[in-house]
Amino acid sequence: MKTIVHIVGARPNFMKAAPVWKEIQNLSKLRQILIHTGQHYDNYMSDIFFKELDLPEPDFNLGIGSNTHARQTASIMVKLEELLININPDLVIVYGDINSTMASAIVCSKISIPFAHVEAGLRSFDRRMPEEINRIITDQLADLLFTPSKDADMNLLKEGIDIDNIHFVGNVMIDTLIKLNPIARSPKKFNNLMDYILVTLHRPSNVDDIANLRSILDNLLEISKSSPIIFPIHPRTKKVLSDNNIIFNTNENFQLIEPLGYLDFLGLMKNAKAVITDSGGIQEETTWLGIPCFTIRENTERPITVLIGTNQLIGLDYGKIPLVIKNSSKISNRKIPDLWDGRASYRIAEIISSFLAD
Ligand code: UD1
């Protein structure tokens, strides 16, 4: 029996891996093994997603944790190399653009294990972003490249990737959203809150510099005078606040809360008036939901979300945020990108079974 290894490491990987795992299980008689690098380790950054998304417990957890880029990447590589040599899989699947993705890609290619990259081809063209480096390296080495949108195919072709290895399959994150949307509810304590804005922030460019973070928070406070804000805070952002002894008093109109699980967050997102974020995945989820999204970044690797019209890049001029929000309006004609239809992981499973049958 052939063996597939899935490697996940951090929060945005889990909702991508879950539907692919399920479809491969439904379609074929392949043995599947799940490795968690442990890049994210808190319950609310990791364990809760396994339960909600119905992902099996990882067979192996490398327990890597947080560190500098080089140390984190290197620790994953050292442990993973030994483990993959022992398992000797027929194919490895990696997801997204985190350090665990790139570390796994390098290990697989050096020990000649074929691997597939789910969410290949996205480019922000901004090499100051750690994720951009992870994307470029992973795609250069991958044997199968599964793309979520046609712009990603074009990026890969320009980088010299063989067209036969590129498969436009759609967006696996949307597979999970479509499946769980009907049961996602806002947490009870927010049931009576209307017209609120949901905020997430964790990009180093926005949160690692305390002056930037302060300026964003001041502008959010300004917005909260007219629209309530719910802000589940990422541990990275929380750490910067606590390292700088900043205690943020939350009130009815500005609720700084712990990170949420998938279902609570989706429940809040689909009922929000708007979302302010610097996340990649949330730009896509709001596109499918038809919720206005304001992205605090200068660029995006997901240009289709801007093209469709739900996502607006507001750059790093934080003072502009209140005015942009004030002038925003509802999305009137919800459009959905090609193949964001809940079947992307099914297409991946089919391509993988024929790849392994060859
Ligand atoms: C990582 C990914 C980023 C992704 C994000 C989603 C990289 C380079 N970055 O960023 O692409 O969008 O995950 O969340 O791979 N921490 C905890 N508990 C945890 C995990 C982290 O407290 O479970 C804290 C630690 O203080 C750590 C910091 O968060 O130093 C940053 O974690 P790290 O995994 O390095 O990067 P993220 O910012 O989470």
pLDDT along the chain (358 residues), means of 10: 97 98 91 98 96 97 98 98 98 98 98 98 97 98 98 98 98 98 96 94 96 95 95 96 87 93 98 97 98 97 97 95 90 93 98 91
Helices H, strands E: what count in the chain?
15, 13
Q: If you measure from the C-alpha of residue 37 to the centroid of ligand 1, how many angstroms do you get, rounded to a whole number?
A: 12
Report the relative pairing of strands 197-200 and 144-147 from DSSP bridges: unpaired
Say what the pLDDT of residue 249 is. Answer: 75
Residue 274 near residue 293 (C-beta atoms within 8 A): yes
Q: If you measure from the C-alpha of residue 205 to the centroid of ligand 1, how many angstroms do you get, rounded to a whole number?
A: 13
- Tell me the pTM: 0.97
- Please give the backbone phi and psi of residue 267, each rounded to the nearest 5 degrees, phi first: -55, -45
C-alpha to C-alpha distance for 291 and 235, rounded to whole angstroms: 25
Report the relative pairing of strands 144-147 and 115-118 from DSSP bridges: parallel
- The residue to mutate among 98, 119, 213, having the most atoms of ligand 1 within 8 angstroms of its beta carbon, is 98
Residue 147 near residue 121 (C-beta atoms within 8 A): yes
Say what the pLDDT of residue 333 is. Answer: 86
C-alpha to C-alpha distance for 130 and 26, rounded to whole angstroms: 35
Q: Can you tell me whether residue 320 is helix, strand or coil?
A: helix
Topology of domain 183-326, per CATH?
A: Rossmann fold (3.40.50)
Place of tokens 């500098």: 68
Do 2-171+340-357 and 183-326 come out as alike in CATH topology?
A: yes
Place of tokens 């093994």: 33
Query: Whose CA is closest to 283, among 269, 268, 264, 273?
Result: 269
DSSP state of 58: P
Cα–Cα distances in Å, from 179 out to 48, 147, 169, 197, 286?
A: 17, 20, 17, 24, 15
- Please give the backbone phi and psi of residue 294, each rounded to the nearest 5 degrees, phi first: -115, 115
Which region holds residue 227: left if phi is over 0, alpha if psi is between -120 and 50, else beta?
A: beta
Burial 228-239 (b: 16+ CB within 10 A, else e): bbbbbbbbebbe
Ligand 1: which atom is nearest the Cα of residue 280?
12
* 167 among known catalytic residues: no
Say what the pLDDT of residue 185 is. Answer: 95
Q: Is 247 exposed, middle or buried (0-12, 13-18, 19+ CB in 10 A)?
A: exposed
77 in contact with ligand 1, CB cutoff 6 A: no
Question: For ligand 1, atom 20, which residue shows the shortest CA distance?
Answer: 40
Q: Which CATH number fits domain 2-171+340-357: 3.30.300.30, 3.40.190.170, 2.60.40.10, 3.40.50.2000?
A: 3.40.50.2000
Query: Whose CA is closest to 75, among 29, 49, 106?
Result: 106
Say what the pLDDT of residue 141 is. Answer: 98
Given the residues 36, 117, 202, 234, select the one marked as catalytic.
202
Question: For ligand 1, atom 21, which residue shows the shortest CA distance?
Answer: 40
Q: If you measure from the C-alpha of residue 66 to the centroid of ligand 1, how many angstroms do you get, rounded to a whole number?
A: 7
DSSP 230-255: EEEPPHHHHHHHHHTTPPPPPBTTEE
Question: For ligand 1, atom 9, which residue shows the shortest CA distance?
Answer: 98
Residue 357 near residue 29 (C-beta atoms within 8 A): no
Q: Which stretches of 10-165 are DSSP H helices?
A: 11-27, 47-52, 69-87, 99-110, 130-141, 150-158
Domain boundaries, the chain: 2-171+340-357, 183-326
CB atoms within 10 A of CB 139: 25
Say what the pLDDT of residue 27 is. Answer: 85
- Cα end-to-end distance, the chain, whole Å: 14
Say what the pLDDT of residue 248 is. Answer: 77
